[in-house]
Structures are given as C-alpha cells and as structure tokens.
Structure 1
Amino acid sequence: MPGMENAMSSEFADAQAVNSGKTRRKGMTEFRVKIVGWLFVLLATIGTTVLPQMLGYHAGSDNMVAMTILVVCEVASWTAIPLYAWLLVQGYRHTHNALQYGIRLLVLALISEVPYDIATSGKVWDMGSQNPVFALVVALIVLATIDWAREHLQGVSRWVVSVLVTIAGLAWVLILHIGLRQGMLNMGLLLVGMALIFHLMDAHENTMMMTAGVLGAVFFIMPAVGVAMLHTRQDELGYTRPWVKWVFYALYPLTLLVCALPVM
C-alpha cells in the first residue's frame, strides 16, 4: 500500500499538537509506521506466493503444518490495516490538494490490480477480490464528502449526507469485494471504518484508540494489535527527503509483482 503526503516534521508535529493538546516524542515516527506496514504487506504476499511453493502446499492439500504457517502469515499481516488507515488520514490532512491525492491513489490502485490478482489467485484478472488501495480511495472520498458537508451544510442535511456517503462507500467496498482476504476478512470495510474513526475522533486520543481497537478485535483480533502499535506513535514524520513518499508508492506494486513471479 502507498505512503502518505510529504510534510516537514515540525509542521506535522505542530498539527498533531494542536489536535491532541500535546506532542508525542516517543514511539514510531510516520516513516517507521510505513516500514512496519510494508513488512506486513510483504509477509502476506510471500504467504500467498513463495511459501506455498516452498512448503509444497496447494489447494486441497492435507498438509496441516504448511496450512498453519500460511494462515499465521495471513492473519498476522492484518495488523497493517489500522496502520494504513491512519496513514491515509494523515495524508488527507496534510495534502495541499485532496483531488490530486485521490488521483494518485486511484492510479496506484489501477497499477497494482494485475500484480495483486496474480499474487492472490494466480490469475491475471480476478474479480473475486480487488486490491485494498481501492478501499483507500473510497475512504478518502467518504472523508472529503463528510468534511464538505460539515463545512457547507447545517442541521439534519449535514448528517444525512454524511450517513449516506458512508453507507455508499461501505456498499461499494462490499459489492466490488475490495480487500477481501481468504473469503473471510473484508479488509476494505475495516480500512474505511478505521479511517472514519481516526478522522472523526482525533481530538479524543484514548476514545479513538479504544473504539478502533474494539473494531479491530471484531475482525479477528490482529487489527487491534495494529491499533495498539499506533497508540505508541510519535508526532514526527521521520524523514525529510520528498522522494521518500514516492518510494512507498512504488513499493506496493513492486512487492506484489516480484513475489508473483514464481506463480506466473
């Protein structure tokens, strides 16, 4: 999945300090959050491409040891879901142009789709599951629309628009099978839900993290671990080079493509 918008560390810290009333100085920087998120993506991708071949596992196999290892890799990778939801919210807040940001995410989602399909199903085109970057695009649209409603509408109409766009976003994620993993976890739903929590409840850190943690626990526990990791974050970007963000944009499709080569 992609990295977020570039901003100077001091600006990032100041913005967070305004929201939370204090600045965090211990824990993971945004750069480290991206690294950890990518490592979990790598784990999931290896678990669906390289490891099955190494362990001699195939669909219908009775190799329980291999199956257990693959399931552990998949479930552990779900820890990354809240990390990317949080990164999306930070990118949205600090971008200079939300439309351009959304277009970049959409282009990344389109570029990543074929490598994702090959890595997850061995097919060049598979409608059974779409890559989760599409869920980030949906979440961004939902957040931007809610903010527009809060700024331009009042009373009941504001709530109606916010609720309708949220329902529409979740519906599209379900209909298009965005981020559907192993037929049991809809990563897209969780990404949108977590993004909403992180955006709308940011002024109340403990309540925000508790709510996100409960939601993560409902989705097979491991996303809640990712929420706990975020709670220890620090309010610093962690890098100053503007090209770093482009590296993280490129890492997702490249990781999928390289790991998918053995199953092509």
Structure 2
Amino acid sequence: MRFGLNRSQLKNIALVFMVLDNVWLRFSTGFSSVAHLVTRFVAPLFAWLMVDGFFHTKSRTRYCRRLWIAAVLMQIGNIISFAIFKDKGITDNIFLTLAFGFSMIWLFELAKTEEQRQKKVWLRILAIALTALGLALSIVLYIPLPFGNVIMLEGGLQLIPFILFAYFFHDSRRKQAVAIFVCSLVLFFTLYGGIEGYQGFDMFCVNSDWMTFLVIPFMFLYNGAEGKKSAFGRWFFYAFYPIHLWVIAIVSVVL
C-alpha cells in the first residue's frame, strides 16, 4: 500500500468540505465564518487533480468534452434556478472554470508538440487568448443570461493562474508549491490589502479566496494512485455537484 492519499480519497475529502462551504454561503448567519476559511483548498484541489488527469487520461478529447457538457448543463440548470428562486438562484459553475482550464492547457500542449512553426505560433496565440478571456470572465466580464443569471468563471482569478502553474511545473511539486504560494501572497496584498486591509477576523475569513496555498499539503499527500475505479465513481462528481447545490438552494428557500 502506497503512503498518502489516492485520487479518489482526495476527491472525497474535497466533496465534504465543498458541501460545508456551500451550506455556509447559504446560511452564513447560523455558522461560523471559519467554515469558509478552511474550505479554500477545495476548488484548487479539484483543479490540480484535473491537471494531473490531463497527463494521465486515455482520451483528452473525451475528458474535455465531459467538462464542457457538464458546464453547459450546469449553466442551463442555473438559469432555471433563477427562474424559480429569483435572487436565490444558483450561480456556481466550477465545471466551466475547469473546462476553460483544460482547454487552455491542451492548446499549450498542442503548441509544444506541433512541429510546424506557423501552427505552433497560432496554437500559442489561441492558448494565450483563451487564458485572457478566462481572466476577463473572472474579473470584469459578465455575460448576461435570462432571469438575471450570468456567465462568469467561478474562482477564475485564483484558478486560471493556478492551473497554469500546475501544468507548466507538472514535473515538480516543489516548483508548483512555490509558484502557488507566491501567487497567494500577490493576491493577498493586491486584493485583500495585506495587513492594512485587516477588518476583523470574520472579514478575514470571508475575504480568504487568496488562500489558495492551503491546497499545497494535499498535493504532497497525493500518492499518484487512482483508487477504486468504476463508472459510478467517474460520474459521481458530475452528478453530486449540481444536486447538492439544488438541495441546499431548495432548503434555503423553504426555510
């Protein structure tokens, strides 16, 4: 037995904390804000496992297609949720961020392996353009949809650079960790305002998206093993993610 945690175990840990965070977001008045602070590793962990999967999957085409189909279906569900729940509709769509990230690094990978110089240049331009679009959808660009829903990249400001670090430094977890930690510090001082921006412990917990570095211990705990493989396990996250958000949304409306 390999020391550490396999892919399935890491996903299960992330799922538990993902539910905790989404419950806090809907019922924050009844829960400590620490719940949000301790879950800042969840989205980065899913993104890191996606990049690892990029290098090990048997078919990048099928992997990418699954992410984009899940992203589109999730967005349709979000529109429906806004039609039903109004301002309490669902805005989350991590599938879209992961689909963007996967497509982005795939273009960089194709450029790396392409032999024709002209095609290599165009693939790099497309990769950079998609990266820029992802950052724009994370910061300033919101595409309006029916019933008040919008297209945006959930956690994109942290995850787009994170995915690039995970891809370009895939052969060295130490380099990944250093890049992620430095990026976290940059976000801390530019977005949160550093020490001068401290507004009390609760606000520190709420404004904690810069704490991407919390994923680093999980990266080093990963032993490279897949864990139990089954069709159910492969599709579980794709179903669990939207279902748990709908259940939480319904409960918040009823209560």
Would the TM-score normalized by the shorter structure come out above 0.5? yes
| Aligned residue type for 2:128 | V
> Structure 2: 5+ residue runs without aligned partners?
143-150, 189-207
For 1:249 and 1:34, the matched residues in 2 are separated by 12
Task: Map residues 1-264 of structure 1 onto 2, 5 A cutoff.
Answer: 25-49=2-26, 51-52=27-28, 57=29, 66=30, 69=32, 71-113=33-75, 123=86, 129-152=91-114, 153-154=116-117, 157=121, 160-174=125-139, 175-176=141-142, 178-180=152-154, 187-217=155-185, 218=187, 220=208, 221-264=210-253
Which structure is higher in RCO with an 8 Å CA cutoff and minimum separation 6? Answer: 1
TM-score (norm. length: structure 2) = 0.72
> Structure 1: 5+ residue runs without aligned partners?
1-23, 58-65, 181-186
Q: Conserved in 2, the CA contact under 8 Å of 1:132 and 1:188?
A: no
Q: Percent identity?
A: 20
- Does the C-alpha gap of structure 1 residues 81 and 131 become closer, same or farther in structure 2, counting only changes over 3 Å? same
Return the offset for 1:34: 0.5
Q: Conserved in 2, the CA contact under 8 Å of 1:201 and 1:207?
A: yes
| Aligned residue type for 1:204 | S
Return the offset for 1:106: 1.9
- Does the C-alpha gap of structure 1 residues 207 and 255 become closer, same or farther in structure 2, counting only changes over 3 Å? same
**SS in structure 1 opposite 2:221?**
coil
Query: How many matched pairs?
Result: 218
Return the offset for 1:206: 0.8
Return the offset for 1:102: 2.0
For 1:179 and 1:160, the matched residues in 2 are separated by 21
**SS in structure 1 opposite 2:2?**
coil
**SS in structure 2 opposite 1:123?**
helix
User: Superposition RMSD on alpha carbons, in Å?
Assistant: 3.1
Q: Conserved in 1, the CA contact under 8 Å of 2:40 and 2:214?
A: no
- Does the C-alpha gap of structure 1 residues 124 and 137 become closer, same or farther in structure 2, counting only changes over 3 Å? farther
TM-score (norm. length: structure 1) = 0.70
Which whole-Å deviations, capped at 9, do the CAs of 1:208-244 have from their partners, x for residues lacking one?
A: 1211233234353532111222122111111132321
For 2:76 and 2:23, the matched residues in 1 are separated by 16
